[in-house]
Amino acid sequence: MSVLLQLTDAVKSYGDQMLLDNASVALYENTKVGFVGRNGAGKSTLLKVLLGDEELDSGSVSRSPSLRVGYLRQHDPFQPGESAMDFLMRDSGQADWKCGEIAARFELKGKYLNGPVRDLSGGWQTRVKLAALLLHDPNLLMLDEPTNFLDLRTQILLEHFLRDFPAACLVVSHDREFLTSTCSHTLELNRGTLTMFPGRIESYLEHLEAEQLRAERTNAAVVAKQKQLQRFIDRNRAKPTGASQARSKQKQLDRLSLEEIEADLPTAHIRAPLISEPRQGPCVRCEKLAIGYDGHAVVEGIELEIEHQQRAAIVGDNGQGKTTLLRTLVDSLKPVAGSLRWGYGCEIGVYAQHVYSTLPEEKTVLEYLEYQSRPGTTTQECLAVAGSLLFRDGHTKKKIGVLSGGERARLCMAGLMLGTYNILVLDEPGNHLDVETVETLAEALLRYKGTVLFTSHDRHFVRRIATSVIEVRDGRVRNYSGSYDDYLYYVNREIEDGERERAAAGGASGGAAASAGSAAAVSGKAQHQLRKTLRNLEKNIAKLDDQRKELDARMQNTANVDEAMKLHTQLEEIRTELAEAEQHWVEIQEELGEW
């Protein structure tokens, strides 16, 4: 495989923060790479460097003469009044039939294709931008947080698109499930260093954990050996008969060194509101409820009952009314018709999508938390909660007006945690939070004894905490009878059925149709199980390969004929098992349409 883009000995800093510290990496053709790292690590800056929008302090970027980059930019490239079709034709210079053919792959048709593109939601506009990228025939796609604000259906469409895309990709994302589904390699930026791992994100995280555990065990053994040698030296250095041995042991001691283990970066810790007495029975009941704006109903006939201690995920495409439902439940919007009743003693805490943008700009972090906290909360308790959300020392005196989006989101979460709410209503709580903070939020909600109503496009987060699923679709709300995995399977199947219909009608190119057909053969639970099997196979292959190397080394070093024959038999068995595992791996890759 040829190199499309290469970064060599790159140095880039802002003030005293080193983003790239002699970092190097190569991107190869047809390789899909998931790019991960903490918020603020410098991922977006690196993309700008690779695109030529920013210069390095030192180092170089080499680009192949055949490189054609497609970059999914976050800004709005649309002109006033133009339709999606107008934009695609203007941006690509292609004929309307070609633009329509590519647009169909993203379910862009009717008013979505021919109506004003600026009237579309962010998710639909992202579909338009992706169609535009494809029309330029790039051989390297760069996507910066492409799943931000995308609904589930658009995320799955994007996954299918990337799996079928016959070229290289570099995808920046905090969404582990999305990266697992689309990227075969993982690139991490951490403390200025770039690390490329030839495996999916889950395998990389397991590798990091195993490496840290190995280093800790090695260091523990080294420390024990150092103590043993030091005790011998202390006992014998003054003895005439033991002085030479003590000097020898000192040389051994001087050669021993500990492996450097990076200290973990600070991680937020979230404590759910404390509830003195968990409640039982229905917490909210809706009867013949209609919701909407200015007397116009967007969803009608809602018959819904939610029990105390449920964690209900509100799901559905963007624009269907999920946020409208949540706002009506918390009395931010009045019902258009029907009735809505909360049970006795319900205390409701709310986290809205854009609540962080309405915080009092002039208050400090500590002043805001003291204002939000329950009566009787001490300043020390507020400081403790602030510290757990990474507001420490002077950060508690910062004005809210100077906080970043992620810091404001954490501050809102901290304010909720200081209350005594037995109902939490959370609208996209993961937006603006990094993956580590989302993980600790999930842990807190799992321990929480109250009721949670929430929306989220993060499938891993929803799968972890949802005990029930409520779908908002086509002007109706219903309790989904199955699990969240069942719902994912149902959405996947709908999308794949649409892809098969377009392929059968000749609406997609031959190569794309064939690829979509192969991917459609496996879906939902079956695909999830195959990917789990694939990860287990990769671990087993690595283990067998280590055993093969060890047996091979032992054979080279033995002079005993009988032992050599025994080792040869074991080696042949390992080689056979390894070949079978590798063949099974290839078969699963082919079944998933990724080989």
Predicted local distance difference test score (pLDDT) of residue 518: 41
For residue 586, what are the domain limits? 524-591
Predicted local distance difference test score (pLDDT) of residue 22: 92
Tell me, yes or no, whether 429 and 513 share the same domain: no
Q: Which of 275, 205, 248 is nearest to 424 (CA)?
A: 275
C-alpha–C-alpha distance, residues 574 and 577, integer Å: 5
The mean pLDDT value for 166-184 works out to 89
| Three-state SS annotation for 5-16 | EEEEEEEEEECC
In a domain, 240, yes or no: no
The mean pLDDT value for 470-498 works out to 85
More confident residue, 24 or 40: 24
Tell me, yes or no, whether 409 and 497 share the same domain: no
Tell me, yes or no, whether 470 and 547 share the same domain: no
Q: Which of residues 162, 183, 204 is at a domain's end?
A: 204
Q: Which of residues 184, 204, 224 is at a domain's end?
A: 204
C-alpha–C-alpha distance, residues 175 and 458, integer Å: 7
The mean pLDDT value for 481-488 works out to 85
Tell me, yes or no, whether 416 and 508 share the same domain: no
pLDDT at 231 over 50: yes
Beta bridge partners of 571: none
The mean pLDDT value for 424-441 works out to 83
Tell me, yes or no, whether 460 and 494 share the same domain: no
- What angle separates helix 84-92 from helix 122-135, to the nearest 10 degrees? 30
The structure tokens listed for 201 are 């994100």
Instruction: Return the minimum-mean-pLDDT range out of 144-148, 223-227, 264-268.
Output: 264-268
The mean pLDDT value for 98-103 works out to 90
More confident residue, 213 or 582: 213
C-alpha–C-alpha distance, residues 281 and 287, integer Å: 17
Q: Which of 474, 433, 438 is nearest to 459 (CA)?
A: 438
C-alpha–C-alpha distance, residues 12 and 56, integer Å: 5
Beta bridge partners of 337: 290
Domain tally, the chain: 4
In a domain, 133, yes or no: yes
Tell me, yes or no, whether 403 and 540 share the same domain: no
Q: Report the percent of the chain where pLDDT is more than 90.
A: 26
Predicted local distance difference test score (pLDDT) of residue 521: 44
Q: Residue 373: what residue type?
A: S
In a domain, 271, yes or no: no
439: Cβ contacts below 8 Å, ≥ 6 apart:
none
Query: C-alpha 166: how far from its chain's center?
Result: 23
Strands 185-190 and 32-36: parallel
- What angle separates helix 379-388 from helix 405-417, to the nearest 10 degrees? 130
Q: Which of 285, 288, 275, 272 is nearest to 329 (CA)?
A: 285
Report long-range pairs for 438-443 (Cβ below 8 Å, ≥24 apart).
438/174, 440/267, 440/268, 440/269, 440/270, 441/270, 441/413, 443/270
The mean pLDDT value for 213-221 works out to 84
Q: What is the CATH number of the domain that holds 537?
A: 1.20.58
Instruction: Return the minimum-mean-pLDDT range out of 25-29, 105-109, 340-344, 364-368.
Output: 105-109
pLDDT at 134 over 90: no
Q: What confidence category does residue 509 fall into, taking pLDDT thresholds of 50, 70 and 90? A: very low
In a domain, 236, yes or no: no
In a domain, 170, yes or no: yes
Q: Residue 380: what residue type?
A: Q
C-alpha–C-alpha distance, residues 424 and 273, integer Å: 9
Q: Which of residues 151, 182, 204 is at a domain's end?
A: 204
Q: What confidence category does residue 511 fall into, taking pLDDT thresholds of 50, 70 and 90? A: very low
Tell me, yes or no, whether 308 and 422 share the same domain: yes
C-alpha–C-alpha distance, residues 390 and 264, integer Å: 14
Total count of residues recorded for the chain: 595
C-alpha–C-alpha distance, residues 222 and 578, integer Å: 34
The structure tokens listed for 138 are 């790039």
Q: What confidence category does residue 508 fall into, taking pLDDT thresholds of 50, 70 and 90? A: very low
More confident residue, 403 or 28: 28
Tell me, yes or no, whether 328 and 469 share the same domain: yes
pLDDT at 89 over 90: yes
pLDDT at 512 over 80: no
**Residue pLDDT, tens place only, 549-580:** 787 778 767 767 567 667 777 877 787 787 77
Predicted local distance difference test score (pLDDT) of residue 563: 75
Beta carbons of 432 and 353 less than 8 angstroms apart: no
Predicted local distance difference test score (pLDDT) of residue 537: 80
In a domain, 161, yes or no: yes
> Which H or E element spans position 315?
strand 311-315
Beta carbons of 373 and 382 less than 8 angstroms apart: yes
Tell me, yes or no, whether 515 and 535 share the same domain: no
More confident residue, 482 or 565: 482
The structure tokens listed for 575 are 């080689």
pLDDT at 73 over 50: yes
What separation in angstroms does the CA of 59 have from each of 8, 9, 46, 62, 429? 6, 5, 13, 10, 39
Predicted local distance difference test score (pLDDT) of residue 446: 93
How many Cβ atoms from other residues are within 10 Å of residue 492's Cβ? 22
Beta carbons of 409 and 287 less than 8 angstroms apart: no
Tell me, yes or no, whether 80 and 115 share the same domain: yes
Q: What confidence category does residue 58 fall into, taking pLDDT thresholds of 50, 70 and 90? A: very high
Query: C-alpha 231: how far from its chain's center?
Result: 50
Strands 140-144 and 3-14: unpaired
More confident residue, 464 or 586: 464
Tell me, yes or no, whether 79 and 106 share the same domain: yes
Averaged pLDDT score across all residues of the chain: 83
Q: What is the CATH number of the domain that holds 291?
A: 3.40.50.300
C-alpha–C-alpha distance, residues 441 and 109, integer Å: 38
How many Cβ atoms from other residues are within 10 Å of residue 432's Cβ? 19
Predicted local distance difference test score (pLDDT) of residue 253: 86
Predicted local distance difference test score (pLDDT) of residue 592: 66
The mean pLDDT value for 478-497 works out to 84
| Three-state SS annotation for 431-465 | CCCCHHHHHHHHHHHHHCCCEEEEECCCHHHHHHH
C-alpha–C-alpha distance, residues 283 and 449, integer Å: 13
**Residue pLDDT, tens place only, 232-254:** 888 888 887 778 888 888 888 88
Only one residue has tokens 């205390």, namely: 347
The structure tokens listed for 343 are 């049970």
Query: 3-class DSSP state for residue 338?
Result: strand
**Residue pLDDT, tens place only, 395-422:** 888 888 888 777 888 888 888 888 888 9
| Three-state SS annotation for 518-538 | HHHCCCHHHHHHHHHHHHHHH
In a domain, 260, yes or no: no
Beta carbons of 400 and 363 less than 8 angstroms apart: yes
The mean pLDDT value for 471-486 works out to 87
Q: What confidence category does residue 34 fall into, taking pLDDT thresholds of 50, 70 and 90? A: very high
The mean pLDDT value for 184-211 works out to 88
The structure tokens listed for 503 are 């392929």
- Phi first, then psi, for residue 58 (nearest 5°) are -160, 170
First to last CA, the chain: 15
DSSP-H helix ranges across 139-242: 152-164, 176-182, 201-236
From the number of C-beta atoms within 10 Å of its C-beta (0-12, 13-18, 19+), residue 255 rates as exposed
Predicted local distance difference test score (pLDDT) of residue 528: 66
In a domain, 15, yes or no: yes
**Residue pLDDT, tens place only, 361-397:** 888 989 988 888 888 888 888 888 888 888 888 888 8
Q: What confidence category does residue 61 fall into, taking pLDDT thresholds of 50, 70 and 90? A: very high
Whether the model clears a pTM of 0.75, i.e. scores above it, the answer is no
From the number of C-beta atoms within 10 Å of its C-beta (0-12, 13-18, 19+), residue 376 rates as exposed
Tell me, yes or no, whether 294 and 335 share the same domain: yes
